[in-house]
Chains A and B, each alone.
Chain A
Amino acid sequence: MLKLIAFRIAQAIPVMLVVAVLTFLLMHLLPGDPATIIAGDQADQASIDQIRRDLGLDRPVPVQLWHWIVNLAQGDFGRSLMLNQAVADAVKERLPVTLSLAMLAFAITLPFGIAFGVIAAVWRDTWVDSAVMILALVGVSVPNFWIAILSVILFSVTLGWLPSAGYVPLHDSFSGWLASLIQPAVVLALFQIGYLARMTRSAMLDVLDQDYIRTARAKGVAVNTIIVKHAFRNTLMQVVTVAGYILSLLIGGSVVIEQIFALPGIGRLLVQAIMARDYPVVQGTMLLLGFAFVFINILIDLIYAYVDPRVRYD
């Protein structure tokens, strides 16, 4: 198992390198110059050139890429052009916000998504199935910025139950932290619940049609036992795959939700950095996200072995 982990991590290195080079090149392909943005529109050409020199943007792109990779190898992600701080610090400040939001949304998604999927499958082709699947369809289809705005109008403006925006760090107050995150987390989870419910239902339907389920029924095993022990356990491979995918999406930060609820997270950082052509921040954040995807994939592989004893990596 340890060998597998080491192997997967070693495999991740070239992947990360490709992510790094691609992000770097894509960013530099974008028109727009950070020096002009920093200087402001009142600046003369000489000042813009000076800023470009100061930031090393006047060097040829391959040279900039080489310097960046060399620094990266030494653990230096560079310095943000706009925020005037190290990229690692900028990301570190915002990571707790995004992780809090992601974990809370994930914690809401898992039980509801799985439960709805199982219920729809067990009562397939009845009104329950239709109702659950329509709800799931709504969750997947309705844009979350719209739900977010409606939710704020209802829960913050009209009822006054929750704050309309902003983030309270966990170490300041637990209740404040929860209050500031519960609304964005639920809105964010609606899409994921819909997605997970549909995938779980389809996986359950495949299993419920299997001979061994019919056999279990025929020999009089209790319905609940069949559903939970015989059917659901056999869908876990698919459920874990989808859940892992959902988690990596969540860690990528929800740009829209962080924007609407004014949460200072990774998604917002990334969007601002792209708008400002803050190359080091975009590159650093993309690398982090790439790493998160790779890491979660490794985690999923390990969970496979746990949920399905037939899977062995040695």
Chain B
Amino acid sequence: MKHFTPGRTAALLLSAALLTTAPLAPAFAQDPKMGGTILYANNSGPGQLDPQMAASLVELEVIAHVFEPLISMDANYDAKPMLAESYEISDDGKTFTFPLRKGVKFHDGQEMTSADVKATFERYAEVSPGKATLADVKEYRTPDDYTFVIELNNLNAVFIDQLKTPVYPFSIMPASQRNKPAREIDVVGTGPFKLGEWVKDSHLVIEKNPDYTPRDDADGPDGYVGKKEVYVDAVRYNFLPEANARVAAMQTGEADITTALPLDLAKRLEGNDKVTPVTVFPYCQQYLIVHSSQAPTDNRQVRQAIREAVNVEDLILASGEAARENFSMVYPGGAFFVGDDNAGWYNQNDPAKAAETLKAAGYNGEEIVLQSNTNYSYMRDSILVLAEQLKAAGMNVKVDITDWTTNASNMQSGDGGWNVSTTSFCSNPILGPQQWQTMIYNFPHVENNKVLDDAYAKFYASLDLSDRVAAWKDIEAEVLDGAYMIKVSDRGSNRAIANDLKGFREFNINLFWGMWLDR
């Protein structure tokens, strides 16, 4: 359950105010109309739909409609049972028991049982890049058709939170898929939609699953969980890579909803009486990533000098994104938001201090390479402005602009001779510390950091939330103080919705149950 901090209350009030004026408001006032096909202009299409291999947003969005996991996230991104009736954690935090919902059918008509669940987890542990979550599993047990038990070797206080992940989701598949190689499954889930026609690079259709039984313990949709009622016959994802084409499709009525609009293009839709542009928060957080195993930024003080020189306001302005300032690696209002204690390292904008820190670091004009790419203009423009800020503080900066694939690969591998780059993290700030861990270590290439290692050990070891929050506070402080990552902003997602598409809920991804066409 989320706490109503001032920030969260303000956001809620703002949303409420928007809803009263926006044409989205009648969602609550009208009875849903049945039928029709929602046309969704999406920026690209999935390459594959094996949930256990899926990390890209376009894949996950389709998968969220077709498949369901045992545990998923509600509208506040907290863990809630989906295919599990409920869940029970043993006192020692090692055994997790999931009573399964009865009568849940796969799209091929078979009923889901614990054998399917077990097969899914076994395959996951073999093929999925997210399999580290299951590394400590001692055994899976299926005492009967409707009970699934996972036993771990050691206590894991956040195991349930790990199972709710929407990235490489633990979507339940029929046991027949157990030995299918990675990315080669039949797309058969239990979700409220099933896969229809799919022409790669062109379009993909998900059709209403007439045999779907929604959970009856909720009043309506709630994030990925709750009561999922489908009013439309189908949703057609049209893949329109060009943002101009997506805007044109909204203007001509060839699309009912679109996403990934650059801010300047979204503005073209203002004043259109058939379409409403919306910016959805929370979406992603932008960071500067500082390579801590590459000279000269392997020197903590050099990294800190970079952070001290950063003027976040100018970076946001340059990025041209709908972005908000927020010092934290999580969102205000969330369980792990630790208040202003960790705010001191944000937006310091103090080139003089940075110059002093550089001197103390023994910096001698060594080249600092800023790498970015041509594919994402917000990244490139932030890096170009950052270069000027760092030069003003006396750093010898070289800008290296490449393509996104090279840039991203270099960030992951640590190769390419870069010192600073920039990217956005979308699911990690929402999902919390356990999801941050890989990125915190991998992107800045952290080596031998005892503060982080100890804090993470503490984080996993306590069943008490307050201990875990305290551990996270240390982790966040170390990342920001050590300038492994420098926070830039919270970026919103610019979308547009036809005024006669009702029931839209602002969420990290677009979810089509509970939506209907008023025509």
Contact = CB atoms under 8 A, between A and B. Distances in A.
A163 B252 CA distance: 8
Chain B CB count within 10 A is highest, among A43, A268, A277, for A43
Contacts of B183: 84
Contacts of B199: 93, 264
Interface string B404-419: 1110111011011000
A268 B43 CA distance: 13
B56 interface: yes
A84 B438 contact: no
Interface stretch (A149-157, A223-231, A285-293): A149-157
A84 B252 contact: no
Interface string B127-144: 011111000000000000
A272 interface: yes
B48 interface: yes
B248 A152 contact: yes
A47 interface: yes
Contacts of A152: 244-245, 248
Chain A CB count within 10 A is highest, among B56, B200, B251, B416, for B200
A165 interface: yes
A40 B128 CA distance: 11
A80 to B, nearest CB: 9
A269 B201 contact: yes
Contact of B242 (A36, A94, A262): A262
Interface in A158-193: 160, 163-167
B350 interface: no
Contact of B129 (A44, A156, A259, A264): A44
Interface in A29-43: 30-33, 36-43
A292 to B, nearest CB: 20
B252 A47 contact: no
A33 B129 CA distance: 15
Interface residues of A, number: 46
B129 A272 contact: no
Nearest to B167: A42
Given A30-B406, A41-B412, A84-B47, A164 B439 contact: no
A94 B406 CA distance: 27
A240 B242 CA distance: 35
Given A44-B129, A44-B438, A164 B406 contact: no
A262 B247 CA distance: 13
Contacts of B254: 163-166
Interface stretch (B233-241, B332-340, B354-362): B233-241
B412 A164 contact: no
B408 A36 contact: yes
A40 B252 contact: no
B184 interface: yes
Interface in B323-357: none
B62 interface: no
B126 to A, nearest CB: 9
B249 interface: yes
Interface string A232-262: 0000000000000000000000000001111
Nearest to B50: A84
Given A41-B55, A163-B254, A36 B244 contact: no
A288 to B, nearest CB: 16
B420 to A, nearest CB: 17
Interface string B191-209: 0000000011111000000
Contact of A54 (B56, B182, B403, B405): B182
Contact of B202 (A32, A44, A48, A264): A264
B167 A32 contact: no
Nearest to A89: B200
Nearest to B48: A84
B409 A166 contact: no
A261 B245 contact: yes
Nearest to B411: A41
A90 interface: yes
Given A48-B129, A51-B129, A275-B404, A262 B416 contact: no
A299 interface: no
Contacts of A83: 47-48, 200
B202 A166 contact: yes
A272 B43 CA distance: 13
Contact of B244 (A54, A82, A260): A260
B168 interface: yes
B181 to A, nearest CB: 8
A25 B167 CA distance: 34
B53 interface: yes
Interface in A272-306: 272, 275-277
A156 B248 contact: yes
Contact of A264 (B200, B242, B409): B200
B48 A39 contact: no
Contacts of B56: 40
A54 B433 CA distance: 31
A231 B415 CA distance: 62
A260 B246 CA distance: 9
Nearest to B249: A164
B280 to A, nearest CB: 21
Nearest to B130: A42
Contacts of A153: 248
A69 to B, nearest CB: 25
Contacts of B427: 42
A262 B404 contact: no
Nearest to B410: A31
A82 to B, nearest CB: 4
Interface in A8-57: 30-33, 36-44, 47-48, 51, 54
Contacts of A54: 181-182
Contacts of A165: 238, 240, 242, 245, 248-249, 254
Given A36-B409, A54-B182, A42 B240 contact: no
Given A152-B245, A259-B241, A276-B405, A47 B128 contact: yes
A264 B201 contact: yes
Nearest to B54: A40
Contacts of B438: 42-44
Interface string B376-413: 00000000000000000000000000111110111011
Nearest to A272: B201
Contacts of B442: 41
B403 A157 contact: no
Contacts of A30: 406
Contacts of A94: 201
B130 A32 contact: no
B245 A164 contact: yes
Contact of A42 (B55, B200, B402): B55
Contacts of B248: 152-153, 156-157, 164-165
Please list the 7 inter-chain residue pairs (A to B) with the smallest Cβ-Cβ separation, ordered nearest first: A40-B55, A43-B129, A264-B201, A47-B129, A164-B248, A264-B202, A32-B409
9 contacts: A40-B168, A44-B132, A54-B181, A164-B249, A259-B242, A262-B242, A264-B202, A275-B404, A277-B405
Given A36-B408, A264-B199, 10 more contacts: A32-B409, A33-B409, A37-B408, A40-B55, A42-B438, A82-B48, A157-B248, A164-B249, A165-B242, A166-B254
